[in-house]
Structure 1
Amino acid sequence: MLSLSPNIFTNDINGTVAFYQQLGFTTTMSVPEEGEDLVWAMMTNGAVNIMFQSFESLGESLPDISRGNGGSLLFYIKVNQVVEFFGEIKDKVTVLQGLEKTFYGATEFSIKDNNGYVLTFAEHED
């Protein structure tokens, strides 16, 4: 295995792209390549790639994928300078859990994205 790039389904792909831009992600690919009626986009921040796809574009394929926002999963993203990053975004997002030091040596915080997915950002001590 070489990498993992989650493909998150959403009812509001343009809103999702705008939300993740607030977190420092940039769009690296999209369908269509230009315009406001996106059906798919890949966004990148450092070594983290996340894809977003509209529920509508699924059509009848992959019927086992839930057609509702959110999910019973959490995206755990390692970052550098977590305290500074938290300060940059905390007033722009829904914070579920503020900065805390964990028993396993990480400083982390959790937010909810515009689709109801939980993102935890963590910096580990060396």
Structure 2
Amino acid sequence: MKLKQCVFAVLACLTVSVLADDKPYTVVDGYKVDAKTMEGFRTWRAAACDRCHGANQEGLVGPSLINSLKTLSQDEFVKTVTEGRLPKGMPSFGESQQVKEHINDLYAYLKGRSDGAITRAKVEPAK
């Protein structure tokens, strides 16, 4: 019986480890991020998303992205950013070269913020 419990515990730990690795970002100390997530932060700044969503992604005239990315899939996020939601005031960023090239990096940065793994809006490269 104890052997079965040990095997189960090991399998559970491996499953948690695999699930944790599915994150699109890597964060150390809450604000040091991998190169792609850092590029997502730079894209956030370059596109001036803070004008509507706030400097901390908590919302202004646009919704809180901290909350939105808890339910939006990556595909829904990409569609929203590239096509916009004009009736709701969200412009399309589909023509922005920076956004087109780094849309997945932008998602990674915002998903990290939404998940609470990135604990502050301004991040730094991990070394």
Q: So what's the TM-score if we normalise by structure 2?
A: 0.27
Q: Give 1 or 2: higher helix fraction.
A: 2
Q: So what's the TM-score if we normalise by structure 1?
A: 0.27
Higher relative contact order structure (alpha carbons within 8 Å, sequence separation ≥ 6): 2
Q: Give 1 or 2: higher strand fraction.
A: 1
Give the greater-gyration-radius structure (CA): 2
